Amino acid sequence: MKTKSRRRKNGVLTIRYVLIFLWLIFTLIPLYTAFVASLTRYENLGKTFLFPVDFEWHNYIDIFTRIPYGSYFKATLLYAVGTSLVSVVFAAFAAYGLSRFRFRGKMFYTGFIFITQLLPQVVIVVPVFMLLKSMGLYDSYLGVVIAVTATSMAFPILLLRSFFDGLPVALEEAASIDGCSRLGILVRIVVPLAAPGMATAFALSFFTGWGQYLYPLVLTRSADKTPLTVGISRMIDNQTPWEMVMTGTLLSIIPAVVIYLFVQKFLVKGLTVGGVK
């Protein structure tokens, strides 16, 4: 009797592992295939299957001369850092205002923030394009950062707000009696206490900026403003050098994965504390 139930339990466990492995294969297949292709010579593409036939590590050096990879990388980094800096600073202010004050129009403002999350970028990309043109910000890093920040602002605000809500007000009252200004309180007390939340918001905005495609595509023109997403996918046409596309793709994903592995614990925790509420 006992062995029977144990055997059944083992069977269930085996099925569980099999299903998890199947899901992981689905998850990792594009990355693995990209890796195999990135080690292949162009003329051997398609001959590789599960294992690489060449070990052409040189692809990882050639990519810098085949396309202006360094310049794409620089633009991507600027968009990512710009977006995350602006988002986090603006969001910290807004979240503090929402968390510590009651004011007329608060409901409306909160509602508006929610709605911005629903707004597809493609809906407003044309008027934004015309707006930036008239402001002289077309084909500039700043223009893209402003546009990206506005559409991705909601999440950091709501995230930081719920972090701030969880902080004790007593400390701030004490600081205020000691003559600390509101701004001082925010910068010296609230932000340091909400460090995990700030880090989560920063990381999320960084990923957002890193992966932008439509805005840089439409709002910039010159080569030095082209990010990796646009530059690499532009190589895909009839005569695609797939080994280069895959090399470039992997090189571009790695920084995000590395950052993610570092902040993973924070991120999952921050999301579950703040995001899903």
Partner 1 sequence: MNLKFTQRLEPYLFILPTVALFLLVLAWPLLNLVIFSFGDSNIIQGYTGWNNFENYKFLGTPAFLKTVLVTLIWLFGGVIGIVACGMAVSLLLNKPIRGRAFFRALTIIPWIVPHAFAASMWSWVLHPQFGMLNQLLVGLGILDKPIGFLSENTALITVIVVRIWQGAPFMIISLLAALQTIPEDIEEAADLDGANGFQKFRFITIPYLKPVLTVSTLIIAAWTLQIFDTVYIMTNGGPARATQIIALEIYTKAFVESNLGIASAIALVTLITVGILSLYSLKKEGSEAS
For partner 1, the closer CB: 45 or 193: 45
Site string for partner 1, 113-142 (x = CB under 8 A): x-xxxxxxxxxxxxxxxxx-----------
The amino acid that residue 129 corresponds to is: F
Q: From the CB of 184, what's the least distance to partner 1, in Å?
A: 13
Query: Which of these segments, 63-71, 144-152, 160-168, 170-178, binds partner 1 (CB under 8 A)?
Result: 144-152
Closest residue by Cα to residue 80 from 141, 140, 153, 158: 141
Classify residue 54 as left (phi > 0), alpha (psi -120 to 50) or beta: beta
Is residue 109 a contact point for partner 1 (CB under 8 A)?
A: yes
For partner 1, the closer CB: 201 or 245: 245
Query: Which of these segments, 32-40, 61-69, 171-179, 193-201, binds partner 1 (CB under 8 A)?
Result: 32-40
Cα 270 from Cα 277, distance rounded (Å): 12
CB distance 59 to 36 below 8 Å: no
Cα distances from 14 to residues 3, 20, 25, 219, in angstroms, run: 16, 10, 16, 52
Residue 147 sits at the vertex; the CA angle it makes with 78 and 230, to the nearest 5 degrees, is 55
For partner 1, the closer CB: 59 or 212: 212
Query: Which of these segments, 57-65, 66-74, 104-112, 188-196, binds partner 1 (CB under 8 A)?
Result: 104-112
For partner 1, the closer CB: 4 or 102: 102
> Among 84, 151, 162, 200, which residue sits at the site for partner 1 (rule: CB under 8 A)?
151
> Among 68, 182, 193, 199, which residue sits at the site for partner 1 (rule: CB under 8 A)?
182
Classify residue 103 as left (phi > 0), alpha (psi -120 to 50) or beta: beta
For partner 1, the closer CB: 71 or 249: 249
Q: From the CB of 77, what's the least distance to partner 1, in Å?
A: 13
| Stretch 214-273 residues interacting with partner 1 (CB under 8 A) | 214, 218, 229-230, 232-233, 236, 242, 245-246, 249, 252-253, 256-257, 260-261, 264, 268, 271-272
Q: How many residues bind partner 1 (CB under 8 A)?
A: 91
| Stretch 38-97 residues interacting with partner 1 (CB under 8 A) | 45-46, 49-50, 89-91, 93-94, 96-97
Q: From the CB of 138, what's the least distance to partner 1, in Å?
A: 12
Is residue 170 a contact point for partner 1 (CB under 8 A)?
A: no
Q: How many CB atoms lie within 10 A of CB 204?
A: 22
> Among 10, 14, 28, 221, which residue sits at the site for partner 1 (rule: CB under 8 A)?
28
Is residue 153 a contact point for partner 1 (CB under 8 A)?
A: yes
